[in-house]
Structure 1
Amino acid sequence: MPKVKTHSRAKKTFKVTGTGKISRRKAFRKHLLTKKSASRRRSLDGSVFVHSANLPLVKRMLNMR
């Protein structure tokens, strides 16, 4: 049986923590920031954990079965 390849974009987008959780960056933070309020820009800072509904899909893309 051939090796299973990791999804190329997924390995750049998601990071696995030491406890096994998967973190991601928030969307809408790359450009067109002048029209967004300061509080909205601040709330888009940092990273969050992948929601439990999307976890099986992300784990499959990262070959974490």
Structure 2
Amino acid sequence: MPKQKTHKGTKKRFRLSAKGKAKHRHSGTSHLATRMSTKRKRNLRGTTVTTDTNSKIIAEALAGNSY
């Protein structure tokens, strides 16, 4: 049986927590932030967790390679 390859795009964007949940950065934080309100920028800081369904799919795509 061939091994499953890690999906490199997923590896760059997600990280699994100890309990298997997928953490990721909020979208819309790269540039063009001057037009956003201060409240919006503040709420986009940090990371967030995906749903359980997406976490399973992401874990399969990572194939055990999460930092």
Normalising by structure 2, we get a TM-score of 0.81
Query: How many equivalent residue pairs?
Result: 64
SS where residue 23 of structure 1 aligns?
Answer: strand
Name the structure, 1 or 2, with higher relative contact order (CA <8 Å, separation 6+).
Answer: 2
The aligned residue for residue 58 of structure 1 is 58
Gaps of 5+ in 2: none
The aligned residue for residue 11 of structure 2 is 11
CA drift of 1:51 comes to: 1.4
* CA root-mean-square deviation: 1.4
Normalising by structure 1, we get a TM-score of 0.83
The aligned residue for residue 33 of structure 1 is 33
* Identity of matched residues, %: 34
Aligned 8 A contact 2:23 2:50 in 1: yes
Gaps of 5+ in 1: none
Decide which structure has greater helix share. Answer: 2
